[in-house]
Amino acid sequence: MLQIVILAAGKGTRMKSALPKVLHPLAGKSLLGHVLATAATLSPTKTVIVYGHGGEAVPAAFAQQSAAFVLQEPQLGTGHAVQQAIPALADDGTTLVLYGDVPLISTDTLRRVLTKPDTLSVLTVTLDDPTGYGRIVRDAAGRVQRIVEQKDADDATRAIREVNTGIIAAPTARLAAWLGRLSNHNAQREYYLTDVIAMAVADGLTIHTTQPDAFWEVEGINSRDQLARLERIHQGEQAKRLMAGGVTLADPARIDVRGELSCGTDVTIDVGCVFEGVVQIGEDVEIGPYCVIKNSVIESGARIAAYSHLEGAHVGPVAKIGPYARLRPGARLARDVHIGNFVEVKATTIGEGSKANHLAYLGDSEIGRNVNVGAGTITCNYDGANKSKTIIEDDAFIGSDTQLVAPVRVGRGATLGAGTTLTRDAPEGQLTVSRAKQVSIAGWKRPTKKTPA
Ligand code: UD1
Ligand code: CA
């Protein structure tokens, strides 16, 4: 049985922000959100988040989640912080301690920490420059004896390069007992979580240590500079994963995935694209440069040209979108639909083979198959109070600069003449046109500028 405590009470002064540090986003999700998501992969029976005074936005941001929140006030150190969570835990099984500002810890590494449930486990790293970290002190046989904080360490101890990442796991009941015996007789007058290591050794336990695959997994964030650096590392890792899955990236350093992007094989993504939320892309799709794609599905063989913006859209197979297209929530495009430059589509289904290639607004509409929507066509879906629907049946031809004043229906195979303002249904198969009669006035003269008197 596993329980997880996440420490998130630190003030985050160096962020210089009104937002609590752990709520700052990395790849579109809060730092604490990342830790919670990773924690959830371990299926804990309980997760307790220790937050600090002034950080009320933290529990508010996660009100939907099953995690419990405990306030630590005042903040008297990491040991004191974990102690605040103890009353919220069942006293059996293992407790794992994580940090709300260490967002990229991986499930694989944590599983390694949890392989020895009967003892205390510490995740350590070995650094060229260990300055600032708690040092892992081992005996001649290599067994961990204790952790000594930088500020309490003598020169010999400071020379140790193996350091504490802060992540530990221990049997819950024993951890609770050790925490109850902590004192703050140290350089920082804090209750150190790290002091439980020597207590475990005194109780005859052999401390288990393991190391993460990469240092960035255990890097904490204290400043916006560190946040930006970890963001780049995380994006680089996602780019690697995409390429390993058969995606061509024009430049792996110029893609941002803020959510979950899944791609079939032979997808090509040009530079500067941003993916948000859950985006699913089929096989052999090409995404041009500088597209923003959020919560959308793009089926196989589709082409999304430069500077297109998609949100909540479904793009059918071999469709051609953009450049400069905007697909808004509820845009559902079937196979081989073409949406060209400066065309906006919202809450509209478009049938197979239909085209709107230039400068149009299609909202709250149902458009059939093989419909041609001319340049400048606008569905007038909003009367200032209510939205109404436009229906365009199969094989209709909508002439350029047409306004469809909804609710209105264009029958199958109907043609609308250019410039039509359609206020009543257009019957199928006929030409409907509303247009002032064209006149030419013979002998008309252009006005000339009056000469001042
Ligand atoms: C801690 C470890 C140190 C380790 C380092 C890794 C202790 C005593 N030291 O040191 O061995 O090398 O992390 O980064 O544990 N926090 C609270 N409440 C508190 C104090 C801290 O929630 O009262 C949280 C902070 O928000 C932060 C984390 O605990 O997320 C670590 O606190 P911090 O003060 O940064 O610990 P360090 O001094 O860096
Ligand atoms: Ca017009």
Nearest one of 182, 211, 213, 218 to 199, comparing CA atoms = 182
Residues 114 and 245 in one domain: no
- CATH number of the domain to which 142 belongs: 3.90.550.10
Rounded to the nearest angstrom, the distance between the alpha carbon of 78 and the centre of ligand 1 is 5
Q: 196, exposed or middle or buried, with CB in 10 Å at 0-12, 13-18, 19+? A: buried
Q: What was the pLDDT predicted at 53?
A: 77
Residues facing residue 293 across a β-bridge: 275, 310
414 lines ligand 1 (CB under 6 A): no
Residues 165 and 241 in one domain: no
Assess if residue 298 is contained within a domain.
yes
196 lines ligand 1 (CB under 6 A): no
pLDDT tens string, the chain, 453 residues long: the values are: 999 999 999 889 999 999 999 999 999 999 999 999 999 999 999 999 999 977 899 999 998 888 999 999 999 999 999 999 999 999 999 999 999 999 999 999 999 999 999 999 999 999 999 999 999 999 999 999 999 999 999 999 999 999 999 999 999 999 999 999 999 999 999 999 999 999 999 999 999 999 999 999 999 999 999 999 999 999 999 999 999 999 999 999 999 999 999 999 999 999 999 999 999 999 999 999 999 999 999 999 999 999 999 999 999 999 999 999 999 999 999 999 999 999 999 999 999 999 999 999 999 999 999 999 999 999 999 999 999 999 999 999 999 999 999 999 999 999 999 999 999 999 999 999 998 999 999 999 999 999 888
Closest-CA residue, ligand 1 atom 3, reads: 134
Rounded to the nearest angstrom, the distance between the alpha carbon of 436 and the centre of ligand 2 is 14
Residues 26 and 175 in one domain: yes
Helical packing angle, 78-85 and 172-180, nearest 10°? 130
d(C-alpha 298, C-alpha 331), whole Å = 12
Chosen domain end from 162, 186, 218: 218
pLDDT digits (tens, 9 = 90+) for 203-257: 999 999 999 999 999 999 999 999 999 999 999 999 999 999 999 999 999 999 9
Residues 297 and 191 in one domain: no
163 lines ligand 1 (CB under 6 A): yes
Q: Among 13, 24, 78, name the best residue to mutate to test ligand 1's pocket (greatest count of ligand atoms within 8 A of Cβ).
A: 78
Residues 131 and 237 in one domain: no
Which ligand does the CA of 359 lie closest to?
A: 2
Peptide bond into 74 cis (omega under 30): yes
Under a CB-based contact definition with an 8 Å cutoff, are residues 170 and 196 in contact?
yes
314: helix, strand or coil? strand
408 lines ligand 1 (CB under 6 A): no
Assess if residue 442 is contained within a domain.
no
Which ligand does the CA of 165 lie closest to?
A: 1
Residues 392 and 270 in one domain: yes
Residues 48 and 108 in one domain: yes
Closest-CA residue, ligand 1 atom 21, reads: 78
Residues 170 and 251 in one domain: no
Residues 57 and 201 in one domain: yes
Residues 150 and 232 in one domain: no
Assess if residue 453 is contained within a domain.
no
Name the residues around ion ligand 2, CB cutoff 5 A.
401
Assess if residue 417 is contained within a domain.
yes
Rounded to the nearest angstrom, the distance between the alpha carbon of 192 and the centre of ligand 1 is 8
7 lines ligand 1 (CB under 6 A): yes
Under a CB-based contact definition with an 8 Å cutoff, are residues 81 and 99 in contact?
no
Query: Is 80 a residue of the active site?
Result: no
Assess if residue 187 is contained within a domain.
yes
Which ligand does the CA of 192 lie closest to?
A: 1
C-alpha of 242 from chain center: 16
Assess if residue 451 is contained within a domain.
no
Residues 252 and 212 in one domain: no
312: helix, strand or coil? coil
Assess if residue 445 is contained within a domain.
no
List b or e across 56-93, with b for residues whose CB sees 16 or more CB atoms inside 10 angstroms.
Answer: eebbebbeebebebbebeebbbbbbbbbbbbebbeeeb
- CATH number of the domain to which 420 belongs: 2.160.10.10
E-strand stretches of 150-251? 162-171, 208-210, 247-249
75 lines ligand 1 (CB under 6 A): yes
The count of structural domains within the chain is 2
Assess if residue 143 is contained within a domain.
yes
168 lines ligand 1 (CB under 6 A): no
101 lines ligand 1 (CB under 6 A): yes
Expressed as residue numbers, the domain containing 416 is 224-432
pTM (2 d.p.) = 0.94
Please identify, by atom number, the ligand 1 atom nearest to the C-alpha of residue 101. Answer: 30
pLDDT digits (tens, 9 = 90+) for 51-109: 997 789 999 999 888 899 999 999 999 999 999 999 999 999 999 999 999 999 999 99
Chosen domain end from 218, 242, 274: 218
Please identify, by atom number, the ligand 1 atom nearest to the C-alpha of residue 193. Answer: 15
355-363 vs 338-346, strand pairing mode: parallel
Chain position carrying tokens 């792996």: 252
Catalytic residue, chosen from 53, 208, 234, 358, is 358
Residues 373 and 240 in one domain: yes
